[in-house]
Chains A and B, each alone.
Chain A
Amino acid sequence: MISESPAPDWSKRYKIEVVRNGTDLSLRLAGEFRLQNLTAFKREFDQYFREKGVLYVVIDFSEITYIDSAAALAFIQIKKRAATQNIDCSLINLNDESKGILSVIHDDALTRPPIKHPDTDNSVFSQIGQSSLFIARDFISFMAFIGELVVAMAYTIRHPQSLRVKDIFFYMRRAGVDGLPIVGLIGLLTGLIIAFMSFLQLKQLGANIYVPALVSFAMLKELGPLMTAILVAGRSGSAYAAEIGTMVVNEEVDALATMGFDPIRFLAIPKILATVVVVPILTIYSVCFGILGGMIIGVTSLDLTVSTYFTQSIKTIKVFDIATSLVKAGVFAALIAAIGCQRGFQVRAGAQDVGKFTTSAVVTAIFLIVVADSVFAIMFYYMK
């Protein structure tokens, strides 16, 4: 059997025979009238109705071999428009097929206005207003979420057996172990860049010997915690939001609630605990790689030996600095995980919501990390 070509020329599948008799116009239709040639035959009809002096139009369906609902609708519209031009238009010789199709096209449905109107108020003021409201509501809901987290945490401390240790290890692996390669690589490259940039400046003063100290100081105090936190926000914060969001969409969160579990305790606490444990370790790991990156420049371009570079590196580091770095990393981790979980719970319906809140989880987490970092910078300055 020969198959039909995938793209037939639909305009050749229909014919309109026109007979003009004074004020009468007779149109005999033959062939197939369908979506694919609707634009073509509608245009033809437009011409006939524009002919001067036509008062009566008869459209004869007798030789139509196929008509679909879109074409039937087009004839109804043609008839309607003829009425507005004071032309008497009638459809004759309809077969059962055409009658059937015409019977399901309700005039009421065609003219009924939409029940709901799309939001059209897009003026600058309404946008500013809406965004402000959104930010305010967002802040309140985050505070409420923190409150719920504290309650859930208190419950977990009082009932340690309710803690799902298996989950904690799972997320420690996800956020920590699986992130080692990228965190190490970024740490190494960051250290390399600082070493290289500072070397270019310091060599003019003959102060090459300060490069190791600069690298280790910068990595430990700022760049290590910050870079690690940003990476974890991108890797794990987004994953938490997407995971919980999809669970909301699939009604799994509702199922948890009806089984008597507090979804926050069940889903958020293991993730937050795992992240808080893992991120400080990742930070130290990243700092080590940063120092290693600096060492590559130190040994190759500064004529320092590995042992000199190393002793110079750790000379400036104080225990206080390591402690503050760990505290910072812990706080960043808590922020990332909390935001990720909260955004996940904010998902209401649909795939688009999951995407929106996953994006928001990462953006908000990075924003809060930078805000928290500024606060820490001032705080630690006065603590010394």
Chain B
Amino acid sequence: MNQWKNFSKGLIAENAIFVQVLGMCPTLGTTTSAYNGLGMGLATTFVLVMSNIVVSMVRNYIPDKVRIPSFIVIIASFVTVVELTMQAYLPALFEELGLFIPLIVVNCLVLGRAEAFASKNTIWSSTLDGLGMGLGFTLALFMLGSVREILGSGSWFGLKFIQGDGMLLFVLAPGAFLALAYLIAIMNKFNRKNA
């Protein structure tokens, strides 16, 4: 597999959300606006890339039996780094995302890539894999956040373009499920045509 493919597969063909349906909790929980979706996506991407790099660096020194716990420790460390940095420099965003920042650690996507890809591949491939998967995840979160913000609040990145409220349902919990359902369905159709 060439390097470009390592990167690009995560964007659409193996998109974490639309195709693999991984990491659903932050996807639904943080996408009340385009900005929040983007922030969450980038935070996850950072953790994903860093943990992929470190895991592929140490993969030959870690005994098989303690592989998973070691990976979890590595991931949790980067999550804490994100947590502290965000608290210090982006406190407003940190408050909006709240609980979901520490929960990046249990995002199946992150551990999944560490285990399925980074533990078997070189540093360079793993970096690209993490970057591709992360950006694909970010893209999906950003799309979902945009849809929910536009329909639900009648605004985009906080810029209002209608008076009053939108269809509030989309900002609330049920709207998250419904918007995601239709986005996946649309992506399914798109992917099938391309395949």
Partners in one complex: no
